[in-house]
Amino acid sequence: MRVLTGESVLTAWERGLETSPERAALAALALAEPERAPDDLARLPLGERNARLLELLAATRGRRLAGFTQCERCGAKLEFAFDSVDLANDLRARIGAMARAAAVARLRPANTLDLLAAAHAKDEAEARSILLARTLCFDAASADDESEKSGGRWLARQPANVVESIEEAFESVNAAAEIRAQFQCAACGDAAVVDVDPAYFLVDEISRAARRLLQDVHELACSYGWSEEAILAMSDARRSAYLELLRA
């Protein structure tokens, strides 16, 4: 996996503009793993994809993953922090169990293409139906849209208890993709739960890094007359050293 730096950070940022975090994260992953076809990356099980996004985040911007949430009980602002490499390792440890559950349930793990398809649903119930229909294993060789049609027709004929059983199996099969942490609010003591979305964190960090980099390019270009290409070709350490001299 290649580290995103300089020009690749700006390219990842540009490709992610005016699109969903899911698509933007895939664009960044494609830059970090150019040897893999973008469509192959889009079809990775979400657990594997999320582990790779966390590893890319750690390699590019450091292991500390920090954010904020709000206590639902008292409204206090809560800060949280995780080690992204530890999270990635935890996901990988659960992937084997997910594969076994998928084989038993005749469901494949959901992937990014499934999330993108479900994003067009009018409500949560329809989105869930789309995910179930697309991940049912009728014909492994069929295209995703055809699988969705076949799965949707089959699900529509099933009684409620069968659909409920499939929904439970879906949760088990995709459990390795979830990153959920629970901690206590320091203000009121209530339990707070955080769902960590690696795609969101990676895209947000790339956006921040790109804007900092553009500011650095602007400052160095105005002071020294260097081109953007020359500035971006510098290592982060050398670029920072020149900026320190300017700001001294």
Asked whether residue 78 is domain-assigned, the answer is no
Least Cα distance to 184 among 67, 80, 64 occurs for 80
Residue 79 lies in a domain: no
pLDDT tens digits, one per residue of 94-140:
887 777 766 666 888 999 999 999 999 999 989 999 999 999 886 54
Range of the domain at 221: 209-247
Q: Is residue 20 part of a domain?
A: no
Residue 242 in domain: yes
Say if 190 falls within a structural domain.
no
226 within some domain: yes
Note whether residue 24 is domain-resident: no
Domain count, the chain: 1
C-alpha to C-alpha distance for 40 and 96, rounded to whole angstroms: 20
- Walk along the chain (248 residues) and give the pLDDT tens digit of each residue: 899 999 999 999 999 998 999 999 999 999 999 999 999 999 999 999 999 999 999 998 889 988 888 888 888 888 888 899 999 998 988 887 777 766 666 888 999 999 999 999 999 989 999 999 999 886 544 446 656 777 778 888 888 888 888 889 898 888 888 888 887 888 888 887 888 899 999 999 999 999 999 999 999 999 999 999 999 999 999 999 999 999 98
Q: Could you tell me the two tokens for 114?
A: 């499934």
Q: Do the domain assignments include residue 219?
A: yes
Give the span between the Cα atoms of 112 and 122, in whole angstroms. Answer: 19
